[in-house]
Amino acid sequence: MTDSHVWTVDDHLRDADPAAVRLWQRIDDLIGSFGPVTRSVSKTTITFKGTRRGFAGARPWRTGVRGYFDLMRELPADPRISGAAPYGRKLFVHQFRLADESELDEAFAAWLREAYEVGCGAHLGP
C-alpha cells in the first residue's frame, strides 16, 4: 500500500486471525453501545472518538488485540495492561493486550466505559 492509501477498518481486519477479528468486533460493539462514537482509522490503529476527543484505539494483532485507552487515573497492576503513562495533567494512557475473549470481562468493559466518558469530556471538569 502506498503512502496515499486511505486506511479502513477492513484493511486492519482483512488478514488478521479470525479469533482476533471476533475479539476486535466485540470491543467495537461494546464501545459502540456506550453512545455516539466515531472511528478514525490510520495505518497503526483504529481510534475511537467520543463527542470531545479520542479515548481508545485497538486493532487485531497476531495473538489477539492490542490497543490503548485513556483514564483519569492509573489502574492497579493487571496482566492485560502492558503499561500506563501520564498524558497531560489529568490523564493516563493505558496500553493493553487481550489474547482471547475471556479477557474482555466486566472489569475491562468498565475501563472502556470510563475511557468513553473521557472521550465525552469528563477530564475537562473541575
- pLDDT tens string for the chain (126 positions)? 556 788 988 888 888 889 999 999 999 999 999 999 999 999 989 999 999 999 999 999 988 999 999 999 999 999 999 999 999 999 999 999 999 999 999 999 999 999 999 999 999 987
Name the pTM for this structure.
Answer: 0.91
Domain assignments of the chain as residue spans, ordered by start: 9-121
Q: Which of 100, 43, 102, 104 is nearest to 69 (CA)?
A: 104
Fold observed for domain 9-121: Aspartate Aminotransferase, domain 1 (3.90.1150)
**Axis crossing angle, helix 18-32 with helix 106-119, rounded to the nearest 10:** 50
Rounded distance, CA 120 to CA 56, Å?
Answer: 12
Task: State which amino acid sits at residue 49.
Answer: K
Q: Which residues contact 93 (CB under 8 A, 6 or more apart)?
A: 68, 69, 70, 84, 85, 87
